Amino acid sequence: MLVLLRLIIFLFLIEAIFYLLLTIYLRSTRKEALEDEWDRRHPDRAGDSPERSTFVRRSMFGFQKSLKARLVGLVFILPTVAIGVIAWYVNVQ
Compute the distance between CA of residue 93 and CA of residue 88 in angstroms, rounded to an integer. Answer: 9
Reported as a single tens digit per residue, the pLDDT across 60-87 is 888 878 888 888 888 888 888 898 898 8
Please report the pLDDT score of residue 14 as a whole number.
Answer: 93
Please report the pLDDT score of residue 46 as a whole number.
Answer: 75
Reported as a single tens digit per residue, the pLDDT across 26-43 is 999 999 999 999 888 888
Please report the pLDDT score of residue 10 as a whole number.
Answer: 92
Please report the pLDDT score of residue 17 as a whole number.
Answer: 95
Please report the pLDDT score of residue 42 as a whole number.
Answer: 84
